[in-house]
Amino acid sequence: MNAIQNMSARSLASSTSSPDDFPKETTFQYLFTLGLLHNTTVNTAICSELSRSFATSTTVEGEIDFFVDGDHMWGIELVRSGAKIGEHMSRFGPGGNYAGLQSRDYVVLDFRKGVTNVSRDPRRATASFPIDDATGQTRFGEVVVKYGIDAAVTLHLQP
């Protein structure tokens, strides 16, 4: 959650070509990387687009968005507006593309425009940016995060 909260609202807003647009997945990946770096120690390796397990040299099919090594061994996938979320979730399962990474834990983080009523899963987080009722534009200063089956939390992003 801290990595999300460290994202810059200004960077998100300025990454769109019009007020009705929503940032591309690459924008979220970049800002999430900065948030991870800000919230981990210097002994933590954050690998983006990883396709091989360092511990076993096992090659995996595809590239995981983030693998947080060290004491964590987390796998993280980011999606935008729920695109292929079921496919991303299955990559971590037994026989899935990322099974060879031997993650201790994983999450698929879905960034969305507007509050949505998505299905809940212990390994899924949904970050919904609210829509301003008066203007219809996305408010990037805050985000409602639903992680697993926990209650939703509203986070205020950095300026």
Q: What is the distance between the alpha carbons of residues 71 and 75, in angstroms, rounded to a whole number?
A: 13
Across the range 129-142, mean pLDDT stands at: 94
Could you read off the pLDDT of 46-92 as tens digits, one per residue? 999 887 665 555 667 788 999 998 778 899 999 999 999 999 999 99
Q: What is the distance between the alpha carbons of residues 44 and 129, in angstroms, rounded to a whole number?
A: 29
Does residue 122 register a pLDDT over 70?
A: yes
Q: Which of 115-119, 120-124, 132-136 has the lowest mean pLDDT?
A: 115-119
Residue 11's Cβ-count burial label (10 Å; 0-12, 13-18, 19+) is middle
Q: How confident is the model at residue 117 (pLDDT cuts 50, 70, 90)?
A: confident
